[in-house]
């Protein structure tokens, strides 16, 4: 059977997607991006991977967030993305913003982890082969490495951009002082940091309290929020137990012991408030992040197109009254 050729929706930029400029750069990103950490690897059916990726692109989600170790298994989200490039997306490459990263354990031995030049260079070459790409749009140092001199990691990013294997450099999960040093180092070499990525959601306000969010904004870097739904806690997913097909049931990155009575009470309170606003909890949690203009894009995860559809509706109302914000703060802190 000849597979149908993918025809993206002609109205993909007219479905309500909002684009925001990444810091002081020429790049605009969709307010919602699709992350491929879970549900896009070899343990998924390729048809679901394909359906979600097509659905996203058809709705203006043109930023796809990958990393060398996404799957599961490691590498397989990038391999599936490579299949999508070959089957669907190649004609639309210039409409897409594709990110990958290196920084976590990827292959055995001392050169398959952390922040050495040796690892970052080799990993990006592998990622590009898996994704069937000539270049990535942004390549991130996935985490701060306290043992490698920061200059070595950053110079590798500079050289990667100069080589054309990535168009921009990004940083993920750097503590404040390392972020400050990195922004300066990169800017002085004319490879300014395009995007700073960190975990940010109603339950995790660290980017506000640590100062990394303000520093990104002041330094002209975009900011992208990951795990905006606290891996599914900030949705209706766990209101009535732990569904068998959920991330929590898998028990890898989201453990069931976080679902205490106190946590459930917080989720229920927020869910009620969301309902009063005419939103689902997921929509409200995403809208809350986007109500801060310093947030360039929010990277969602998903296991179905229905979830992506729900999440897209967040864009319809991203404003909050001060009473709502106060209530959200009280409810989310518990
Ligand atoms: N830089 C880093 O170190 C780092 C770390 C983590 C993540 N990230 C990036 O951020 C992306 C997103 O992270 P995340 O997957 O943790 O994000 P998330 O959006 O907080 O959680 C996604 C999960 O929430 C559930 N969900 C999503 N929408 C829903 C809806 N409308 N209703 C009910 N449930 C819904 C799904 O769970 P089920 O699967 O149970 O259905 C989905 O897999 C990753 O894919 C990755 O690209 C980066």
Tell me the per-residue pLDDT of 274-309, one tens digit each, with 9 for 90 and over.
Answer: 999 999 999 999 999 999 999 999 999 999 999 999
Pocket perturbation via mutation, ligand 1, pick of 31, 171, 227 by most ligand atoms within 8 A of CB: 227
Query: pLDDT > 90: what percent of the chain?
Result: 97
Pocket perturbation via mutation, ligand 1, pick of 224, 244, 300 by most ligand atoms within 8 A of CB: 300
- Ligand 1 neighbour 300 (Cβ under 6 A): yes
Output the average pLDDT for the chain.
97
- Ligand 1 neighbour 246 (Cβ under 6 A): yes
pLDDT score recorded for residue 319: 97
- Ligand 1 neighbour 267 (Cβ under 6 A): no
Residue 333's pLDDT band, with cuts at 50, 70 and 90, is: confident
36 pLDDT above the threshold of 90: yes
Residue nearest to atom 24 of ligand 1 (CA): 232
**How far apart, in whole angstroms, are the C-alpha atoms of residue 167 and residue 138?**
6
Average pLDDT over residues 57-76: 97
Residue nearest to atom 40 of ligand 1 (CA): 246
- Ligand 1 neighbour 235 (Cβ under 6 A): yes
Average pLDDT over residues 42-49: 96
What are the backbone dihedrals phi and psi of residue 170, each rounded to the nearest 5 degrees, phi first? -140, 160
Two structure tokens written together for 14: 């007219």
Q: How far is the CA of 152 from the centre of ligand 1 (A)?
A: 31
pLDDT score recorded for residue 289: 98
How many other C-beta atoms can be found within 10 angstroms of the C-beta atom of residue 262? Answer: 9
- Ligand 1 neighbour 35 (Cβ under 6 A): yes
Q: What is the CATH number of domain 19-259+289-318?
A: 3.20.20.100
pLDDT score recorded for residue 227: 98
Average pLDDT over residues 185-195: 98
pLDDT score recorded for residue 294: 98
2 pLDDT above the threshold of 90: no
- Ligand 1 neighbour 170 (Cβ under 6 A): no
1 pLDDT above the threshold of 60: no
Pocket perturbation via mutation, ligand 1, pick of 138, 144, 224, 301 by most ligand atoms within 8 A of CB: 301
Residue 310's pLDDT band, with cuts at 50, 70 and 90, is: very high
Average pLDDT over residues 1-25: 90
**How far apart, in whole angstroms, are the C-alpha atoms of residue 198 and residue 195?**
10
Residue nearest to atom 47 of ligand 1 (CA): 35
Q: How far is the CA of 258 from the centre of ligand 1 (A)?
A: 16
- Ligand 1 neighbour 33 (Cβ under 6 A): no
334 pLDDT above the threshold of 80: no
Please write the tens of the pLDDT for every residue from 312-327: 999 999 999 999 999 9
Two structure tokens written together for 281: 């909890």
141 pLDDT above the threshold of 80: yes
Q: Where are the domains of the chain?
A: 19-259+289-318
Q: What are all long-range contacts of 120-129, with beta carbons under 8 Å and residues at least 24 apart?
A: 120/153, 120/156, 120/157, 120/160, 121/156, 121/159, 121/160, 123/68, 124/100, 124/160, 124/165, 124/166, 125/165, 126/68, 126/75, 127/66, 127/68, 127/78, 127/100, 127/102, 128/165
- Ligand 1 neighbour 279 (Cβ under 6 A): no
Average pLDDT over residues 227-243: 97
5 pLDDT above the threshold of 90: no
Let me know: does 242 contact 257? Beta carbons within 8 Å.
Answer: no
pLDDT score recorded for residue 255: 95
What are the backbone dihedrals phi and psi of residue 228, each rounded to the nearest 5 degrees, phi first? -65, -20
Please write the tens of the pLDDT for every residue from 80-103: 999 999 999 999 999 999 999 999
Query: pLDDT > 70: what percent of the chain?
Result: 99
61 pLDDT above the threshold of 60: yes
Residue 3's pLDDT band, with cuts at 50, 70 and 90, is: low
- Ligand 1 neighbour 301 (Cβ under 6 A): yes
Residue 26's pLDDT band, with cuts at 50, 70 and 90, is: very high
Q: How far is the CA of 234 from the centre of ligand 1 (A)?
A: 10
Please write the tens of the pLDDT for every residue from 65-74: 999 999 999 9
Residue 201 pairs in a beta bridge with 204
- Ligand 1 neighbour 63 (Cβ under 6 A): no
Let me know: does 33 contact 301? Beta carbons within 8 Å.
Answer: no
């Amino acid at each position: 059977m000849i597979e149908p050729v993918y025809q993206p929706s002609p109205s993909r930029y007219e479905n309500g997607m909002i684009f925001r400029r990444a810091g002081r750069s020429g790049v605009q990103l969709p307010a919602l991006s699709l992350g491929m950490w879970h549900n896009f690897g070899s343990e998924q059916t390729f048809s679901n991977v394909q359906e979600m990726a097509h659905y996203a692109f058809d709705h203006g989600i043109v930023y796809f967030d990958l990393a060398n170790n996404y799957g599961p298994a490691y590498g397989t989200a990038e391999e599936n993305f490579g299949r999508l490039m070959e089957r669907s997306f190649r004609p639309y490459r210039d409409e897409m913003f594709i990110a990958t990263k290196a920084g976590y354990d990827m292959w055995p031995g001392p050169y398959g982890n952390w922040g050495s030049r040796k690892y970052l260079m080799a990993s990006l070459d592998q990622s590009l082969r898996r994704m069937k790409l000539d270049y990535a749009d942004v390549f991130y140092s996935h985490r701060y490495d306290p043992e490698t001199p920061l200059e070595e990691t950053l110079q590798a990013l500079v050289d990667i951009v100069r080589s054309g294997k990535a168009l921009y450099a990004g940083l993920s999960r750097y503590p404040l002082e390392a972020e400050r040093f990195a922004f300066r180092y990169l800017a002085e070499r004319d490879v300014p940091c395009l995007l700073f990525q960190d975990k940010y959601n109603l339950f995790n306000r660290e980017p506000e309290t640590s100062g990394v969010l303000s520093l990104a904004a002041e330094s002209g870097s975009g900011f992208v929020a990951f795990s905006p739904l606290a891996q599914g806690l900030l949705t209706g997913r766990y209101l009535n137990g732990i569904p068998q097909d959920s991330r929590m049931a898998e028990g890898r990155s989201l453990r069931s012991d976080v679902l205490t009575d106190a946590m459930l009470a917080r989720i229920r309170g927020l869910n009620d408030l969301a309902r009063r606003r005419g939103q689902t909890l997921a929509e409200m949690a995403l809208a809350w992040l986007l109500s801060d203009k310093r947030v360039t894009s929010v990277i969602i995860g998903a296991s179905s197109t229905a979830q992506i559809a729900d999440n897209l509706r967040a864009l319809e109302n991203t404003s909050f009254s001060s009473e709502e914000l106060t209530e959200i703060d009280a409810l989310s802190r518990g």
